[in-house]
Structure 1
């Protein structure tokens, strides 16, 4: 969901309840944080002591004497940590753009599985895509990896960086799977929660996530762990090794790492709510609201087959052994009766395996020049994803059975009378077939693999009084390969059309009418739930494949330093330029644009595709981008009464796309410290997201669908085509942020930040449907931009039936407006006590406004507080640490929302609200070898909080009956392991 409206901010009482936590376990421990890091302190790495929040120079009395050596040492320490919010600033404390900084130690404590899973526990991220959070019905969605979704405004609007350098895309939609980044050597992650296109380039409309490596790591680090759920499944393990060495008096540095992570998936029947055949009935109106029904079945199909039409055979069901009788639809909503059931062994969380390797070498050629090269390689595999098989009458996957079918019982044929055929709805269920000792159509399965490489080489140096420069070259490439074993619909149509040949043998009709078309066709008997032969089942199954290649080559140069001194400090500046070229190539063995030869298949519908689920289009294209930027920081006032600091931060970037021309982005930011303890900040920025190559160059995907045309009043089959749009232009975002950072001198170790933000995205890229295009064109009186997508044989003024559309296009357009307003709160407190250290950190995110207008002719829809979009989310963590052990407790809150997709969308009778749920995570760590070794035990969802019953599908057990994007379906998960650093 990429959407967004206004309301009042949460009450103080609500925020206090959220941040105080619902768990007694959380309340028992004073909360903590390795370092309060949102825009505050450089974060301590595992080998470092905590760093005080502010450099001494920012709080010093201007009249006090200054020790030049101490000041230089302090400045050098600060410059060792470059925070992502600006290319000029030396640390996050002075940055006007909010930056949340989380150390790798804190991340591994939150979620030992991987860093992306830990990041997704922050309330700033919502509706991210991952194997445990995403629906896994189709292999054409990138479920293989972890795609971070900042603000819930789509992963494509968040720029992913590694050490300040753009990471090449890994998916066909242009997004980046952050599981592919090397995790063993990550020192911290900087999350810029505001627009940053002027400083870092396209796609930073909502923000930036920068993974910062420990490039000076020395020694050896080993990680080994294993995990399992409280139900004895979803077993996982992780192994990692990192090494670093410094040679030639620290002039030559080499670091490297390898790691592997593996976790098993879960099936529907592995959890309590699975296999209970829940479905949602009703139409969503006030008169007939949606309601949850258990033990419901398909009322249009059965596991043995159900007929529609066919004279006297209409509405019959076939039973084991080929018996048949009138179909029993069961009770209200399809409870009981002869309706079909889906195999409960379908996947609800996908298995995942990742393997990563990383190496970096740097050499100090002179005291002022360093050359380096690094490479990261990755392979990620997901699957198999087990998917149901079903073929329904009247749809593209339906079957037409003719009266002369060789497997049709004679009595059933007699019931047909003069009817030539009937439509047949069939659901293959291996569980049912196994119980009957026969065969049926199998579960379909899908697998995905991503391989990527990210190579960076460069030179960096310094000169003069504080000037630094760098030149970089990046080559990145990824290949996503997807394969799905599923029904080949033309083969199924051929096999189901079984007849007798002249010798009394059962054959496929096509072998008689078009012998060369489907060689080796094996007739299939679908009359009854276990009637098919193994040979026939194997024949109708095939493997759909598509492969997506992304390549990126980029060169950049950057220069930063001090131009001159102003009355209250130096004017710092950063300038640079960048050139990059990105290419996309996608190939498929099931391109929908390639027509299926229906010769000899009289029962095949005109809309038939090669495979039931996965028919990916081909795509090919490239874009080149030239960019130049400048950023500066100017101190306007300093060390004055009520003006301890007043600082201006400004940036501008010029970007030229080979596809859409030039665009300008900019940022203005202001830091104001009325006194040492309080800092006020504000930014306004113009940001962009360029269309992905898939949106620009994907091939057409043709199909047919029933269309109710409001212009002619005709309801008929229309041809539709999903096409790309090479005329797309970049989206434009305008972000405004105002906030404060309070670090009181009277309470050392405490920090509080509050930021209010407002994001407006215009010309947002959205793809409309054929139905929407026809309706919007009609509403505009034939003048709207959607009318160009509705092709009619006659002028728009003609309303006769002859003017029914000949083709309706669906393509991404720059038509939508998106608006989000929210509030971020972060609090941290660190103090000593009980022979150790206490740390606290809490986050809250409140979103009262989440609106989207699909096009200028459509109404504004309000999404805040509706499906997946909780208005209020938060987390709070606590740590007590001593020389011998540490104990961390975290409480996460999902927030609540209403189940309709947006305000006024539908009415629910008994499951209309997704409740706020709290999850408690506990990590206990024991230290050995002077803290060089540690053994840890982690419990995620320690109290095994079960997800609520929130079914949103009309198909029984098609999805696990809860909202996986919000709630934990795995249950309590225990992980034990050790880490050694020597």
Structure 2
């Protein structure tokens, strides 16, 4: 905590210093690098700044200002503005952020073709308080998120960056680089990088404010930013300071017709959770799950599931306060000091349905004052008690006084039951994640010669994420409160225990009872640090080879990084199953590693200004990395560009990339979690003595039951929780090694001279990851045992561990074991296509842009014996976020004078239920539970339209009005149990398909 405090103090000092420096200088209008104008491909006419296209495809370096200071080129460390690179880079400009009224970077990035939605504001159950990026669907841990080409402090144990911390107000553009970039940026850049480039020479004052609300009147989102900057000594330096605040309100699933009621994906009928109200009981010897009939007090077969949808949300509540400051000053051409500080404090809240006792085993006296007489009689019969014994037990206290001595009461009896009762009286469960990040960087650079520069930079960052939970309760207090024989006190009354009524309808648990049950809080803190130092020498050697006029450019350097991470939980959170509604414990975790690296790059012009060889350039690079945890490995790249004529260019790049295991993958202990899944042992074909039944009973016996007990459990019926969730267990593996990848891209850039203002780029990418650090999917493990059916003692079936009390994959069972290993194989390939056209119409300007992606495949095989699963165009519990085969964004912008109108068309190809999952569902002989509803097995192609209008009211003031989801498309309902919990929520897929509906926003910007 002291380190974080010192970091915050230092960051605040930097910000105040930058602000004072800016305030004492003369104001100037914002320069070319800050007016929103984008870099245009050579030969393409640029439209007015107000009609800047949505995205561009780089054909050369994307620098902000190559006349002074550092050049930020995504994909290479060589700083020569005259040379091109072989890797395709898609750039999203500040204009696009403005047109979308994007409040955080993740909201815009996840809608780009080729990007698969990851954890963000549309993920509720499964959100750890952050927003991440997933390029190509290979996982957020296989791409880097950079700020001005540098790493910043990561979010947690996995080393990923929380994009909520990106200072959107100062972002000039976001560059998305396809394919491996480990040679340039080090490990983790297997699928590419997202580099947020800030405005380098901002000068003046800019105040902006925006507000967004849905047509339903909810989900209000407010944001305001103030940026102050100035250029110093005729451009020798610059200082900028930006401060921002934003706040988002939730959108409840109960506020939309399609999500108000939970729908079971298989039956198409009302679904929900078996942890319900009135309470449901198992383990009483009464056969199937029994639920209290509140009218009669009797136990009857389950008749009412709990509809948890209304309490869940589609948009997580969010607040952020952020500061960003940067300054640079050139003392001489050989010495330029630069510094940058980032501070952000974010609060994200997830809201899920009320807590409860989720099948916990409780000991209950027959004399419990809330136990209905009818239910007591049924339980007595099931327990083999006579009527006289039952009547005596109904009022018996634990002890009696005999001859002046207190002794055990022989009439006092208890029974054990697995109780599922929702505490609706307490409201929803809230998890509040407060993230505080500080990241500071300072360095010095300059000219060694007129063509060679150096830069030495050091940085340090800390991130702290604190989770505080409320509305849960603890198992210890629940068991204490259930063990009561009167309404006032518990058998153990040492801490003011209040007996709890688990047998009544909604509202029967009183405020006093809740006060005792929920009278403790729990929290977890995750802290990370990143220290790094980098030295770089780069530039033009001045040596040109024959047939070339430009010299060979190079970059040489070294880098050191040290990561630390720790999870610190309170005592309650560390105890397995203690916090009700959590299931998994969160034990303390600590880990660290460091890496030393040396790297080099060359860009070699081979032929220039010759027939059919206007330009032929070779690009080479290599990096050696020494990890304290994973040893030494090499990465390298080779690429080139060939421009036979001025209007046509071919480019290609081949890279060997690598990724070392992160702290989570190495050091996390095995813990339980939840995910959607189906249990073959819940099938009607799972009978005692059948081949399927023998596998089921063997797994119950392995948990500690006798064969007789296992047979009795199976005969009574194993029921998957009606909420569709099962336990899964996963954790780290200290024996993990480095995963490697081979990536290559090849493409073309076309800028025909006969069509001025038009450009077209097309690039094919291919990424293969070997020795991938992966764990099997739930379907992999269940299918490995049951499809086809294996022997009860097989290794495949041992990866499924059941509850010893009811045989389920829920309760306290470990459930499906998902171990991490280096046995995975991942492969994806596809094509990116970008086209832009700009035309001066005389009375105005027209800008057209198209950005599309076709993904051929994205296959994943967890182990050599697992299914080689392809999730492109499919969805199921085995496939996480939806990745369509084809998607595109097309923007049309018309500018007339100081105003423009722009229409964005977003297209998502149709997807369908995964064929492998469907085959397993239909294999009822081996436990398949039947297919989802036919109408739920396909989501048709979706078209979204967003309309924005901007008015330049004065030279210094403009107004932007935006209507998102113009035609108010509703997401396709597929039920709540057809996909993974994080992305299949509220009967739909809200990260991919707009669940908020039509939204209106207005933004004003004042500049002087």
Kept in 2: contact 1:591–1:618 (CA 8 A):
no
5 Å-filtered alignment, 1:463-482, equals 463-482=448-467
Q: Deviations over 1:195-239 (max 9, x none)?
A: 111011111101111111112111111111111111111111111
Name the structure 2 match of 1:836.
844
Does residue 579 of structure 2 align to residue 565 of structure 1? no
Deviation at 1:592, TM superposition (A): 7.0
Name the structure 1 match of 2:446.
461
Return closer, same or farther for 1:882/1:790 CA change in 2, 3 Å cut-off.
Answer: closer
Deviation at 1:644, TM superposition (A): 1.3
Q: 1:95 aligns with which of 72, 82, 85?
A: 85
Q: 1:415 aligns with which of 378, 385, 390?
A: 378
Name the structure 1 match of 2:504.
528
Q: 2:154 aligns with which of 169, 182, 190?
A: 169
Per the alignment, in what secondary structure is the counterpart of residue 257 of structure 2? coil
Does residue 481 of structure 2 align to residue 507 of structure 1? no
Q: How many residue pairs end up in the alignment?
A: 865
Q: 1:356 aligns with which of 301, 307, 322?
A: 322
Aligned equivalents of 1:154, 1:41: Cα separation in 2: 36
5 Å-filtered alignment, 1:189-208, equals 189-208=174-193
Return closer, same or farther for 1:121/1:277 CA change in 2, 3 Å cut-off.
Answer: closer
Name the structure 1 match of 2:307.
341
Deviation at 1:356, TM superposition (A): 0.9
Per the alignment, in what secondary structure is the counterpart of residue 734 of structure 2? coil
Name the structure 2 match of 1:913.
938
Q: Deviations over 1:422-463 (max 9, x none)?
A: 635444364xxxxxxxxx343211111111011000001013
Question: Cα RMSD (Å) of the superposition?
Answer: 3.9
Name the structure 1 match of 2:621.
651
Gaps of 5+ in 1: 1-32, 59-72, 282-290, 330-336, 431-439, 596-606, 793-804
Name the structure 1 match of 2:530.
552
Q: 2:664 aligns with which of 694, 699, 706?
A: 694
Name the structure 1 match of 2:886.
872
5 Å-filtered alignment, 1:536-615, equals 536-541=513-518, 542-563=520-541, 564-567=543-546, 568=548, 569-589=550-570, 594=575, 612-613=582-583, 615=585
Aligned equivalents of 2:48, 2:453: Cα separation in 1: 25
Q: Deviations over 1:482-515 (max 9, x none)?
A: 1111433423532442333xxx66432344xxx5
Name the structure 2 match of 1:220.
205
Deviation at 1:643, TM superposition (A): 1.4
Kept in 1: contact 2:529–2:565 (CA 8 A):
yes
Aligned equivalents of 1:449, 1:166: Cα separation in 2: 21
Return closer, same or farther for 1:846/1:560 CA change in 2, 3 Å cut-off.
Answer: same
Aligned equivalents of 1:507, 1:956: Cα separation in 2: 43
Kept in 2: contact 1:486–1:613 (CA 8 A):
no
Aligned equivalents of 1:307, 1:787: Cα separation in 2: 31
Does residue 348 of structure 2 align to residue 372 of structure 1? no
- Greater RCO, CA 8 A, separation 6+: 1
Name the structure 2 match of 1:739.
747
Kept in 2: contact 1:307–1:313 (CA 8 A):
no
Name the structure 2 match of 1:383.
349
Aligned equivalents of 1:357, 1:45: Cα separation in 2: 31
Aligned equivalents of 2:75, 2:52: Cα separation in 1: 24
Kept in 1: contact 2:180–2:655 (CA 8 A):
yes
Per the alignment, in what secondary structure is the counterpart of residue 891 of structure 1? strand
5 Å-filtered alignment, 1:638-717, equals 638-701=608-671, 713-716=698-701
Kept in 2: contact 1:269–1:344 (CA 8 A):
yes
Does residue 318 of structure 2 align to residue 292 of structure 1? no
Kept in 1: contact 2:637–2:654 (CA 8 A):
yes
Gaps of 5+ in 2: 1-35, 384-413, 682-692, 705-727, 802-812, 876-881, 922-930
Kept in 2: contact 1:196–1:204 (CA 8 A):
yes
Q: 2:1003 aligns with which of 960, 967, 977?
A: 977
Aligned equivalents of 2:959, 2:758: Cα separation in 1: 30
Return closer, same or farther for 1:415/1:506 CA change in 2, 3 Å cut-off.
Answer: farther
Does residue 819 of structure 2 align to residue 825 of structure 1? no
Per the alignment, in what secondary structure is the counterpart of residue 344 of structure 1? helix
Deviation at 1:413, TM superposition (A): 1.8
Per the alignment, in what secondary structure is the counterpart of residue 627 of structure 1? strand
Return closer, same or farther for 1:791/1:818 CA change in 2, 3 Å cut-off.
Answer: closer
TM-score, normalization by structure 2: 0.79
Aligned equivalents of 1:626, 1:937: Cα separation in 2: 49
Name the structure 2 match of 1:28.
none
Return closer, same or farther for 1:877/1:883 CA change in 2, 3 Å cut-off.
Answer: same
Q: Deviations over 1:112-165 (max 9, x none)?
A: 323332222211211222112x2x225xx42x2321111121111111111111
Does residue 868 of structure 2 align to residue 860 of structure 1? yes
Deviation at 1:954, TM superposition (A): 7.7
Return closer, same or farther for 1:217/1:74 CA change in 2, 3 Å cut-off.
Answer: closer
Return closer, same or farther for 1:866/1:821 CA change in 2, 3 Å cut-off.
Answer: same
Kept in 1: contact 2:59–2:749 (CA 8 A):
no
Aligned equivalents of 2:836, 2:314: Cα separation in 1: 37
Deviation at 1:835, TM superposition (A): 1.4
Aligned equivalents of 2:109, 2:233: Cα separation in 1: 38
Aligned equivalents of 1:118, 1:168: Cα separation in 2: 22
Deviation at 1:527, TM superposition (A): 1.2
Per the alignment, in what secondary structure is the counterpart of residue 106 of structure 1? helix
Name the structure 2 match of 1:108.
98
Deviation at 1:554, TM superposition (A): 0.3
Return closer, same or farther for 1:856/1:941 CA change in 2, 3 Å cut-off.
Answer: same
Aligned equivalents of 1:871, 1:863: Cα separation in 2: 9
Aligned equivalents of 1:806, 1:545: Cα separation in 2: 23
Does residue 579 of structure 2 align to residue 627 of structure 1? no
Name the structure 1 match of 2:400.
none
Deviation at 1:789, TM superposition (A): 9.9
Kept in 2: contact 1:838–1:880 (CA 8 A):
yes
Aligned equivalents of 1:770, 1:279: Cα separation in 2: 19
Aligned equivalents of 2:489, 2:638: Cα separation in 1: 75
Kept in 1: contact 2:244–2:321 (CA 8 A):
yes
Does residue 107 of structure 2 align to residue 137 of structure 1? no
Aligned equivalents of 1:56, 1:896: Cα separation in 2: 32
Q: Deviations over 1:374-413 (max 9, x none)?
A: 21100111125243334344xxx35454433232123432
Return closer, same or farther for 1:900/1:785 CA change in 2, 3 Å cut-off.
Answer: same
TM-score, normalization by structure 1: 0.81
Kept in 2: contact 1:734–1:759 (CA 8 A):
yes
Return closer, same or farther for 1:788/1:586 CA change in 2, 3 Å cut-off.
Answer: farther
Name the structure 1 match of 2:3.
none
Deviation at 1:100, TM superposition (A): 0.8
Aligned equivalents of 1:157, 1:301: Cα separation in 2: 37
Q: Deviations over 1:783-829 (max 9, x none)?
A: x998999899xxxxxxxxxxxx9999754211100010111000011
Does residue 835 of structure 2 align to residue 845 of structure 1? no
Q: Deviations over 1:851-887 (max 9, x none)?
A: 1111112231222211112111111001112332011
Kept in 1: contact 2:743–2:768 (CA 8 A):
yes
Q: 2:906 aligns with which of 879, 889, 892?
A: 892
Does residue 922 of structure 2 align to residue 959 of structure 1? no
Aligned equivalents of 2:785, 2:356: Cα separation in 1: 35
Aligned equivalents of 2:939, 2:909: Cα separation in 1: 8
Kept in 2: contact 1:108–1:115 (CA 8 A):
no
Kept in 2: contact 1:428–1:441 (CA 8 A):
no
Return closer, same or farther for 1:384/1:812 CA change in 2, 3 Å cut-off.
Answer: closer
5 Å-filtered alignment, 1:207-246, equals 207-246=192-231
Q: Deviations over 1:494-550 (max 9, x none)?
A: 2442333xxx66432344xxx5xxx23221011111221211112222433111001
Q: Deviations over 1:902-948 (max 9, x none)?
A: 57554432210111111101110110333x32111011111111111
Deviation at 1:956, TM superposition (A): 15
Return closer, same or farther for 1:521/1:591 CA change in 2, 3 Å cut-off.
Answer: closer
Per the alignment, in what secondary structure is the counterpart of residue 376 of structure 2? helix
